[in-house]
Amino acid sequence: MPRAWSKKDERQYEHVKASELREGRSPALAEEIAARTVNKERREEGRTPTRRTSGTGNPNTPLEERSRDELYNLARARSVPGRGTMRKSELVRALEDNGDSLAQRLGPLTNAVLVGVPARGRLIWRPPPVSVAFGGR
């Protein structure tokens, strides 16, 4: 067991492992499920050193007051394109924007039409007519 685990974590690990073995899981799978369960609890309680890889901050906190990493994780959850190269202020602006103002910032795709937002939250764009996009006749 990892050194960072407390006695409570170790007890939980053994309890979950025994429970999984009773359910008929293989010992290797039971150990994996138990470890994942304990690590999930530790992560949710904020007892892990890797804050960067998870969490979107307090939903009651304004976007401007959240860290860049929290904004990035929120942008990833909302499938914001180009989020990896954005600064904090750009992430805030992208998260506050709605589909209409995003269309205005797309440059050559300014006349693109927002068709819909499916279950995953990704925007579906229909390209503008060829004459508009390329300055045709």
Q: In the prediction, which pLDDT does 3 show?
A: 76
Q: In the prediction, which pLDDT does 1 show?
A: 60
Q: In the prediction, which pLDDT does 9 show?
A: 92
Three-state DSSP class for residue 13: helix
Q: In the prediction, which pLDDT does 104 show?
A: 44
Residue 14 has pLDDT above 80, yes or no: yes
CB atoms within 10 A of CB 70: 21
The separation between CA 130 and the C-alpha centre of its own chain, rounded to angstroms, equals 35
pLDDT grade, residue 35 (50/70/90)? very high
Residue 6 has pLDDT above 80, yes or no: yes
Residue 103 has pLDDT above 50, yes or no: no
Residue 57 has pLDDT above 60, yes or no: yes
Q: In the prediction, which pLDDT does 133 show?
A: 47
| Residues forming a β-bridge with 124 | 116
The separation between CA 24 and the C-alpha centre of its own chain, rounded to angstroms, equals 34
Q: In the prediction, which pLDDT does 100 show?
A: 37
